[in-house]
Amino acid sequence: MIASEEQQEYMRSGHMACPGCGEASTMRLVLKVLGEKTIVVIVPSCVGVISATFPNSTFKVPCFHSAFEIAAPTAAGIANALRVQGREDVTALAFAGDGGTFDIGLQSLSGAADRNDNFIYVCLDNEAYMNTGIQSSSSTPQGVWTMTTPGGRQGRKKKFMQIIAAHRMPYAATASIGHPHDLMAKIRKAKNIKGTKFIHTLTPCPTGWRMPENLSAKAAMLAVETKLFPLYEVIDGTEYRITHQPLGLPVQEFTKIQGRYRHFTEEDTAILQREVDDEWEQLVAKTKGCKL
Amino acid sequence: MKTLLQGNYAVAEAVRLARVQLVAAYPITPQTPIYEKLSDMENEGILPGVMMRTESEHSAMAACIAASLTGVRTFTATASQGLALMHEMLHFASGNRVPIVMCNVNRVVAVPWAFGSDQSDSLSQRDTGWLQFYCEDAQEALDTVIQAYRIAEQALLPVMVAIDGFFTSHFIEPIEIPDQASVDAFLPAFSIPTRFNEADPAYIANVVNPEQYMGYRQKSFEDMENTRPLIKEANEEYQRIIGRGYEAVESVNTDDADIVLVTSGAMTSTARVTIQSLREKGVKAGLLKMKLLRPFPTREVQEILKNTRKIAVLDRNISLGKGGIWCQELKAALYPLENRPIITGYIAGICGADVSPDMIEDMVVKALERERSDDLPIWVRRDQ
Amino acid sequence: MNGHGITIENIKKIVPFSQGSTEIFLTGLWSSRKPIHLDKTSPCRQACPVGNDISRAFYEASMGHYDEALRIFRQDNPLPGVCGRVCYHPCESQCNRKYYDEAVNIRGFERFLADNGKVDIGRERPALLRKEKVAIVGSGPAGLSAAYHLARLGFSVTILEALPMAGGMLRYGIPEYRLPKGILDKEISYIQELGVEIKTGVTVGKDLSLSETRKDYQAIFLAIGAHSGMQLGLEGEDLLGVMDGITYLRTINLGKKVRLGKKIAVIGGGNTAIDCARTARRLGAKDITVIYRRTRAEMPALAEDVDGLEREGIKIELLAAPKRLISENGKISGVECLRMKLGEADTTGRPSPFPVEGSEFIVPVDAMIAAIGQAPEAAFVKELGISISKNNVIQISSETTATSVDGVFAGGDGAGTKAFVADAIASGKLGALAVYCYFEGKDVKKELKNHQIGNQQSFSFQHFLNPKHYPVDLKKVVPYEKINTLCFPHGVRHNNPESVPPKEAVKTFREGTSGIEASRMPFEIYRCFKCGTCTHCDLCFLLCPDISIIKGTDGYTIKTDFCKGCGQCATTCPRNVIEMVEGPGGNT
Ligand SMILES: Cc1cc2nc3c(=O)[nH]c(=O)nc-3n(C[C@H](O)[C@H](O)[C@H](O)COP(=O)(O)OP(=O)(O)OC[C@H]3O[C@@H](n4cnc5c(N)ncnc54)[C@H](O)[C@@H]3O)c2cc1C
Ligand SMILES: Cc1ncc(C[n+]2csc(CCOP(=O)(O)OP(=O)(O)O)c2C)c(N)n1
Ligand code: SF4
Ligand code: SF4
Ligand SMILES: [Mg+2]
């Protein structure tokens, strides 16, 4: 259920996201939960487009367009300033893409997380540099087509949550636009925890994933239900809890609707399936013995 | 009452006295003692603000920008590689019009790796939109940091205060630390309105079109120009309340000088001695100390040097393919003069190499003999 | 303002400081495709002869509104407690969930509601009472349904019933262990509370002529059922120990004793046959054989009843048909049967059996019950000139229930509708509509079409009363492919548990199954996809990247000015309430 105060919108219509953009819907939900007392930090990414050009704003809350690699220290700087000012009822929130998080912003995120500065970091993972026109990032899954991996990406998608967990942040979670209630519950939780909170959201991009624009939320659901992108949370980097039991559909349910996987052979899919299964087991193993 | 302090600590004292609310820093020689001293102060509970121990200088500046936008007074300090790493953020700070004050302890930029004083690190950030002050000694550093806050917060532009690595940063000097009440009288409490106001929300720093972009740049340019009287006024006010002051350009015996030696930073102290002894030897030499790089004090320099025939510029920095940066700046400033002086550029003291009074004396004498300006600088090295 | 007099207004001039709204950009212009948010019809509802709004009832129940869910059932069906027990649940065979795992236990749900929900008859009373009086002959499900719906329309309704109590086959056919009389009594009492008068012990055509009735009432609905057991057409059917199933059950249900002996053969594969066998078992017969000419798959009786039969130790002789009755001293002593083989499908779609020559065998018996069908006793209607078939079935137009005589309508078994409770209720409901139209001078067929559910004969009485109450497209039935199954975890079906172990069952008429446990019911309710019924799950609202679905207190509206037509809402809607269309879209 959505709390009554969450009926409010803090994002406006009329923004320039592509039709069906997963980033836009994710941001909207995050803001719905965080509400009016939020300062948004964005960095170059499609969010920069979605957020509108001067003199307009897509947001009904204060927002700052920071630089690509500094989403975390920007939010941290704001959070610390708010502390100095005694405005700790205001949430500092950072939105950054996978490029801005897995790659160029990793160091600064790590630093902020290490200091445990008080802010929420939401990674909008669309698995490539979309704003610059679909280039591969370290979040791009193996084998996937992008403009810079025309023959399929060699590297494998970075296991980012493991890096996050290693920081022992008070709260980290994966979330997906396909499961909006779960996503909102996690933001709600994050809002009430002091320290660095990291939310890894999968935000399907119809443009970059080469799929029809009506399928992005469904793709997000499929990613979860195929166990490719399980929904879970990690408390203090050690306590794991799966928040949604996936249906366990075969991975090709997810891959077959996207052009970026078009060239995948049965063999490729089988490899991916094995990997997904292994990782799911590892995740389940981590939840064993956890108090949650 | 004077206290014996190294320059870095003097800077830290200034930060404390300025009631800085947020410090973000990262260690690098020769700046590190500033960071450490501020940490000590925080530990003792005498630093009024919070400390952010960032994972890099880049993030330190990012945090300062963010905090400053939120509405608190911020400080960071760095040197050399750290400043270079910050480069993107320096533009970001001035573009965002945040009144950050930063101390840069001049040090060479690798490679080769080395640690000595060299202004190339900060001079090469000349075009990032920051005001830049170069200090001669630790006392000046302390006083300038305090003054810098006042100027920055009036102009809404960031200010960099540069001091020479080791010479200023590490040498222990007797320092007069002003009392808090005087500093408070000089520097109003920070209350720049926050740009993140839930009651009046705005999206700041979003994309603009070319016309708009140019408009903002021009406005920043004009506001930088408008800092000239603010700098002057700040110094006069400081002088009035605290009893010390520093001109943007300081001239010593220039009126009747046949030759004027132009210096900046710690070398100036040596130059003062040299000029004195040259005068004693009958050479009518004068001294011009450059404190301000941006905005460049063109008028002041023109005024002082309009009748000077010969000039020697000492640069502890080098711009490959051109020469010493102060020298270039000076040449450009004097170009409109009717009687353009003959200017000789010297590159000396790079990486903190020794620049002794006799070396300077030699440079002045040689420059006096020259009959035309040369495009290329003369390298002055002890080993040759 | 700071110590230097700088205000936020100064700052606004020197940096990009954006406070305008993006809502000046009508991104709705990007696409001409727009969503329509409108409830649709579930396949179960289409399959339900009564047209129960099943998915909506499940939705209400999912919020714990059991009384409201029951009320939704009762919009179309006055006998949910009956149907919740004995209906052949064609809804379940069309349930979309069956393609996912197992069909939802819809009937169990209906029973649960009827047993546990509160009925507030006051809310169903018509606002205006009408002058016209309508007589209904027969108080079986068809008659009760017609009476109920007519009363809701404000008519003054009287039921004339020949037997001592109301209910028709529900009371005098279906045995207590399947349908406790208390349940029936309760549901009949609600109909009476609505103002329906039931006169029992009045046989029209005998105690009161049809023409007299026609004079006292401005319209008549004949719901006389089929109470005359059909004969096998073999010699010896008048022997002692031979009885027809209907008579047998009626006699028992009237509280009388019938002594048949230990060994009994029951001929037939329908409900009557199975009920006769199981009743006889409960009354002490040890050795019972049901003889049926086709295979189990073709048995018209409900599978669960046939299962019950077997559990109770009753034999089934399949692919066999009686050829001759053997007698001893004027009393039946055996049934000689022939083996049958299945051939081509007949008109009903079932394969027709034909005898295998020389395959005769004998089943020794003390008695035989023939339960091969029943026919109406409709001769009396001829008085008014109403046509009946040679089997005594009253001839009607199936779309209007009109007989050949103006103002007289007929339905249920007596008029040859499908011989099931739900179909009888449906025909009673249609009869009520027809009577209404008769008085209002309206075209029934047109009315039916307006409120017709899917492409079936059923219509929504609720929609007929107030089409705006639940805006819905009754014609669009949600196919399984349009269900977003990603929103639904798998889950096993909750069947109604047996309440009496088979060993005990043979000794008692206590109801054999119990309701789904209250603590389990929510799980079954959750299993229902609620096809076509917006459950206000908020998915569309939350997923729209363009904030173009506005949530109000009574549902969602589409802000087409900004909708880019991505269609995510339609694709992800778990239950196909949203659909993309070329054009303005919106809510209708
Ligand atoms: C043993 C048995 C088991 C069944 N089991 C099921 C089952 O499990 N599921 C299912 O869906 N269906 C079942 N059926 C079928 C179902 O009961 C009937 O199809 C249904 O009852 C028909 O309803 P009706 O209103 O048309 O007729 P009835 O229920 O037969 O009611 C007709 C009523 O009219 C009265 N009547 C007749 N003539 C006159 C007259 N001249 N004057 C006054 N009153 C008159 C009769 O006394 C009777 O009360 C079963 C039937 C039988 C016999
Ligand atoms: C330091 C720096 N390098 C490169 C860029 C150019 N750039 C802007 S957005 C972008 C891609 C962002 O990708 P990601 O973070 O995944 O976000 P997305 O666009 O996919 O939402 C890049 C490379 C930049 N703005 N700054
Ligand atoms: S390119 Fe992808 S992420 Fe970017 S606005 Fe379009 S759909 Fe959204
Ligand atoms: S999800 Fe939103 S933008 Fe997309 S079609 Fe539906 S209402 Fe329109
Ligand atoms: Mg990306």
Residue C240 vs residue B227, higher pLDDT: B227
- Specify whether the CB–CB gap between A34 and A120 falls below 8 A: yes
Structural domains of chain C, ranges and CATH numbers in brackets: 19-39+534-582 (3.30.70.20), 43-119+478-527 (1.10.1060), 123-226+376-450 (3.50.50.60), 228-374 (3.50.50.60)
Q: What is the mean pLDDT of chain C?
A: 94
Non-local CB neighbours of B265 within 8 Å, separated by 6+ positions:
B106, B117, B119, B134, B135, B136, B162, B163, B164, B167, B168, B316
Put simply, the answer to whether B72 touches A85 (Cβ < 8 Å) is yes
- Specify whether the CB–CB gap between A169 and A194 falls below 8 A: no
Closest-approach residue (CA) in chain B for C16: B205
Of A14, A19, A214, nearest to C571 by CB-CB distance is A214
Q: Enter the DSSP assignment of C404.
A: S
Residues of chain A numbered 79-98 and touching chain B (CB < 8 Å)? 80-85, 90
β-pairing verdict for C219-222 and C133-137:
parallel
Can you tell me the distance from the alpha carbon of B246 to that of B238, in angstroms, rounded to the nearest whole number?
9
The per-residue pLDDT for C514 is 94
Protein residue with its CA nearest to atom 11 in ligand 2:
A129
Q: Is the pLDDT of residue C588 over 80?
A: no
The per-residue pLDDT for C555 is 86
Protein residue with its CA nearest to atom 4 in ligand 4:
C566
Put simply, the answer to whether C486 touches A21 (Cβ < 8 Å) is no
The arrangement of strands across the sheet holding B50-53 comes to B50-53, B22-25, B74-78, B101-106, B159-164, B131-134, B292-294
Put simply, the answer to whether A20 touches C564 (Cβ < 8 Å) is yes
- Specify whether the CB–CB gap between B238 and B184 falls below 8 A: no
User: How many C-beta neighbours within 10 Å does residue A110 have?
Assistant: 17
Q: Is A246 on the interface with C (CB under 8 A)?
A: no
Q: Which stretches does DSSP call E strand in C376-506?
A: 408-410, 472-477
Can you tell me the distance from the alpha carbon of B278 to that of B275, in angstroms, rounded to the nearest whole number?
5
Q: Is A4 on the interface with C (CB under 8 A)?
A: no
Any idea which ligand is nearest the CA of A48?
2
Put simply, the answer to whether B202 touches C18 (Cβ < 8 Å) is yes
Helical residues (DSSP H) of chain A, grouped into ranges: 22-34, 46-50, 71-85, 98, 106-115, 160-166, 180-191, 216-225, 252-255, 266-287
- Cα→Cα distances A98→A45, A122, A200, A201, Å: 9, 10, 9, 10
Put simply, the answer to whether A66 touches B62 (Cβ < 8 Å) is yes
- Residue found by looking up tokens 């037997």 in the block: C163
Average pLDDT over residues C121-129: 90
Put simply, the answer to whether C20 touches A56 (Cβ < 8 Å) is yes
> Residues with beta carbon inside 6 Å of ligand 3?
A 17-18, 21, 23, 46, 49, 126, 130, 205-208
Q: Ligand 4 mean position to A266 CA, how many Å? A: 34
The per-residue pLDDT for B1 is 83
Closest-approach residue (CA) in chain B for C9: B193
The per-residue pLDDT for A214 is 97
Of B59, B203, B205, nearest to A70 by CB-CB distance is B59
H/E element, C59: helix C54-62
State how far residue C64 is from chain A, nearest Cα, in angstroms.
15
Give A167-207 pLDDT, tens digit per residue: 999 999 999 999 999 999 999 999 999 999 999 999 999 99
For chain A, count helices (H), then strands (E). 10, 9
Q: Is the pLDDT of residue A1 over 70?
A: no
Percent helix / strand / coil, chain B, rounded to 5:
45, 20, 35
Q: Is A119 on the interface with B (CB under 8 A)?
A: no
The per-residue pLDDT for C587 is 62
Q: Is C567 on the interface with A (CB under 8 A)?
A: yes
Protein residue with its CA nearest to atom 3 in ligand 2:
A68
Protein residue with its CA nearest to atom 7 in ligand 1:
C86
Protein residue with its CA nearest to atom 6 in ligand 4:
C569
Of C3, C10, C15, nearest to B205 by CB-CB distance is C15
Helical residues (DSSP H) of chain B, grouped into ranges: 7-17, 32-44, 57-70, 80-95, 120-123, 138-155, 180-186, 210-225, 227-242, 267-280, 298-305, 325-334, 357-369
Closest-approach residue (CA) in chain C for A32: C542
Output the CA torsion sign for A212, A217, A218, A222.
Answer: positive
The residues pairing with C65 across neighbouring beta strands, listed in sequence order, are none
The per-residue pLDDT for A232 is 98
Amino acid at the residue C7: T
Q: Ligand 1 mean position to C173 CA, how many Å? A: 7
Q: Ligand 1 mean position to C413 CA, how many Å? A: 7
β-pairing verdict for C408-410 and B50-53:
unpaired
Give C185-224 pLDDT, tens digit per residue: 999 999 999 999 999 999 999 999 999 999 999 999 999 9
Give A79-115 pLDDT, tens digit per residue: 999 999 999 999 999 999 999 999 999 999 999 999 9
Q: Is A154 on the interface with B (CB under 8 A)?
A: no
Closest-approach residue (CA) in chain A for B203: A63
Q: Ligand 2 mean position to A208 CA, how many Å? A: 14
The per-residue pLDDT for B191 is 82
Q: Which residues of A touch B212 (CB under 8 A)?
A: 54
How many beta-carbon pairs below 8 A join chains A and C? 126
Of A38, A70, A78, nearest to B70 by CB-CB distance is A78
- Specify whether the CB–CB gap between A84 and B49 falls below 8 A: yes
H/E element, B250: strand B249-252
Can you tell me the distance from the alpha carbon of C21 to that of C30, in angstroms, rounded to the nearest whole number?
18
Q: Which residues of B touch A114 (CB under 8 A)?
A: 55
Q: Is A29 on the interface with C (CB under 8 A)?
A: yes
Give A126-161 pLDDT, tens digit per residue: 999 999 999 999 999 999 999 999 999 999 999 999
Closest C-alpha to B284, from B312, B259, B255, B251: B259
| ipTM of the shown complex | 0.96
Taking only Cα atoms into account, the Rg of chain C, rounded to an integer number of angstroms, comes to 29
Residues of chain C numbered 19-48 and touching chain B (CB < 8 Å)? 19
Protein residue with its CA nearest to atom 1 in ligand 4:
C544
For the entire predicted model, the pTM comes to: 0.92
> Residues with beta carbon inside 6 Å of ligand 1?
C 86-88, 137-143, 160-163, 168-170, 173-174, 203-205, 223-225, 227, 246, 249, 271-272, 275, 302, 377, 380, 412-414, 419-422, 424
10-residue stretch averages of pLDDT, chain B, 384 residues long: 96 98 98 98 94 98 98 98 98 98 98 97 98 98 98 98 97 97 96 94 97 97 98 98 97 96 98 96 97 98 96 98 97 96 97 96 96 93 84
Output the CA torsion sign for B217, B223, B226, B230.
Answer: negative
Q: Is the pLDDT of residue C2 over 60?
A: no
Q: Is C546 on the interface with A (CB under 8 A)?
A: yes
Structural domains of chain A, ranges and CATH numbers in brackets: 4-287 (3.40.50.970)
The residues pairing with B223 across neighbouring beta strands, listed in sequence order, are none
- pLDDT-derived band at C1 (thresholds 50, 70, 90) equals very low
pLDDT above 90: percentage of residues in chain A = 96
State how far residue B186 is from chain C, nearest Cα, in angstroms.
11
Put simply, the answer to whether A82 touches B195 (Cβ < 8 Å) is no
Supply angle C-alpha C2, C8, C9, rounded to 5: 125
Any idea which ligand is nearest the CA of C428?
1
With b meaning 16 or more CB within 10 Å and e meaning fewer, what string describes A240-264?
Answer: bebbbebbebebbbbbebbebbeeb
Least confident of A240-244, B254-258, C227-231: C227-231
Average pLDDT over residues C16-37: 96
Instruction: Give one word for C359, left, alpha or beta, with left for phi > 0 and alpha for psi -120 to 50.
Output: alpha
Q: Enter the DSSP assignment of C514.
A: -
Give C371-404 pLDDT, tens digit per residue: 999 999 999 999 999 999 999 999 999 999 999 9
C323 phi and psi angles, rounded to 5 deg: -110, -35
Any idea which ligand is nearest the CA of A22?
3
Supply angle C-alpha C44, C46, C52, rounded to 5: 70
Of B54, B70, B89, nearest to A82 by CB-CB distance is B70
Q: Enter the DSSP assignment of A101.
A: I
Closest-approach residue (CA) in chain A for B71: A81
**Residue C320 has which token pair?**
């066999």
Average pLDDT over residues C241-253: 94
The per-residue pLDDT for C457 is 84
Can you tell me the distance from the alpha carbon of A188 to that of A219, in angstroms, rounded to the nearest whole number?
24
Atom of ligand 4 nearest to the CA of A20: 4
Chains adjacent to C (≥3 CB pairs closer than 8 angstroms): A, B
- Specify whether the CB–CB gap between C285 and C315 falls below 8 A: no
Can you tell me the distance from the alpha carbon of B363 to that of B39, in angstroms, rounded to the nearest whole number?
43
Q: Which residues of A touch B209 (CB under 8 A)?
A: 53-54
Q: Ligand 1 mean position to C166 CA, how many Å? A: 11
H/E element, C505: helix C502-505
Which candidate in C13, C17, C18 is best for mutational testing of the A interface (most A CBs within 10 A)?
C18
Can you tell me the distance from the alpha carbon of C570 to that of C543, in angstroms, rounded to the nearest whole number?
11
User: How many C-beta neighbours within 10 Å does residue C587 have?
Assistant: 12
Q: Is C559 on the interface with A (CB under 8 A)?
A: yes
With b meaning 16 or more CB within 10 Å and e meaning fewer, what string describes C259-279?
Answer: ebbebbbbbbbbbbbbbbbbb
Can you tell me the distance from the alpha carbon of C204 to that of A85, in angstroms, rounded to the nearest whole number?
91
Structural domains of chain B, ranges and CATH numbers in brackets: 2-241 (3.40.50.970), 250-379 (3.40.50.920)
Burial level of A5, CB count in 10 A (0-12/13-18/19+)? Answer: exposed
Taking only Cα atoms into account, the Rg of chain B, rounded to an integer number of angstroms, comes to 21
Instruction: Give one word for C129, left, alpha or beta, with left for phi > 0 and alpha for psi -120 to 50.
Output: beta
Give C294-348 pLDDT, tens digit per residue: 999 999 999 989 999 999 999 999 999 999 999 999 899 999 999 999 988 888 7
Protein residue with its CA nearest to atom 13 in ligand 1:
C420
Atom of ligand 2 nearest to the CA of A100: 15
